[in-house]
């Protein structure tokens, strides 16, 4: 049992409130997942610069001096903004892959949480309230975001095992449920050159969606194909640079509710996660159908 939330804003006037709204939604579902929590925020692009969000179990050792060392190694201007155990490294967009390799060389204990033009992912062991306060999520603005609070059933309680999982540029996924064929899919995706950080089945689902998008599928098409290729019980909420998608397996035993107004689309594992949203009393509210893909794009 885990808790999932998602918020896709149509009304630009709400963008400064995205972090605060999403945080409150997630904290409401604390009892569904006391082990770890995480949030992905899709913010504004910064010209031709990209963001690499990283995490270190030894931030006081790994982060000081990293900005200068990266700048020297890459030969470009690098900016590092630390947030507790995480940091956002801003580099020219064409230097992302090289920067990731250099970070691994300079500080092998650092792990990449996400990369892309607009996404930032923050996740840690602990309750949602602790996690959102640690990273100042309440103050973050953006166009859309997703969050997860975890009750571990399949793998260890670690930062890397927390959701969201990101396996492609500006792509991430959160999951409530369990996949039964993730080991076979992992082997197949590894043959395609995809690497994995954990044994978590959700990372396999994220990599599957990224693989399909990398082959030219839209987010909706990637989720549609997953209905044939992913076995198990699941509700997925997925984010991309411009999109937000929801899908449930054919049996749909995991709880889910969607709400839509002229200002936003919101998802929660339970309605109580949506109850504090502005204008919720006038929203169209429904339970997502089994084997049906819902997605919205800016």
Active site residues: 2
> Can you read off the two tokens belonging to residue 269?
């594992």
164: preceding bond cis by omega (within 30 degrees)? yes
Contact 230, 205 (CB under 8 A): yes
d(CA 119, CA 142): 9
76: left (phi over 0), alpha (psi -120 to 50) or beta: beta
Q: How far is CA 148 from CA 30, 52, 183, in A?
A: 9, 20, 23
Phi first, then psi: give them for residue 206, nearest 5 degrees.
-60, -45
d(CA 9, CA 6): 10
291: left (phi over 0), alpha (psi -120 to 50) or beta: left
Q: Name the DSSP letter for residue 212.
A: H
Residue 278, helix vs strand vs coil: coil
């Amino acid at each position: 049992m885990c808790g999932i939330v998602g918020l896709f804003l149509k009304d630009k006037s709400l963008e400064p409130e995205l972090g605060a709204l999403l945080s409150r939604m997630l904290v409401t579902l604390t009892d569904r997942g006391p082990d770890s929590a995480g949030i992905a925020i899709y913010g504004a692009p910064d010209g031709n610069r990209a963001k690499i969000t990283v995490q270190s179990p030894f931030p006081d050792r790994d982060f000081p001096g990293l900005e200068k060392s990266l700048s020297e190694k890459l030969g470009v201007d690098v900016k590092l903004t630390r947030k507790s155990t995480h940091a956002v490294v801003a580099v020219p967009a064409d230097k992302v892959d090289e920067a990731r390799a250099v970070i691994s060389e300079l500080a092998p204990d650092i792990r990449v949480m996400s990369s892309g033009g607009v996404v930032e992912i923050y996740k840690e062991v602990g309750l949602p309230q602790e996690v959102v306060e640690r990273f100042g999520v309440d103050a973050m603005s953006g166009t859309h975001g997703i969050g997860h609070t975890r009750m571990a059933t399949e793998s260890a309680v670690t930062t890397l095992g927390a959701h969201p999982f990101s396996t492609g540029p500006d792509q991430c996924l959160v999951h409530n449920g369990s996949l039964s064929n993730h080991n076979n899919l992992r082997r197949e995706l590894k043959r395609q050159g995809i690497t994995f950080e954990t044994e978590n089945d959700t990372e396999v689902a994220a990599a599957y969606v990224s693989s399909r998008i990398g082959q030219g599928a839209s987010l909706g098409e990637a989720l549609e194909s997953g209905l044939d290729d992913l076995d198990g019980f699941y509700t997925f909420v997925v984010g991309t640079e411009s999109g937000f998608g929801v899908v449930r397996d054919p049996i749909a035993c995991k709880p889910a509710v969607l709400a839509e107004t002229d200002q936003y689309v919101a998802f929660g594992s339970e309605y109580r996660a949506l109850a504090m949203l502005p204008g919720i009393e006038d929203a169209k509210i429904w339970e997502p159908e089994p084997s049906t893909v819902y997605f919205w794009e800016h």
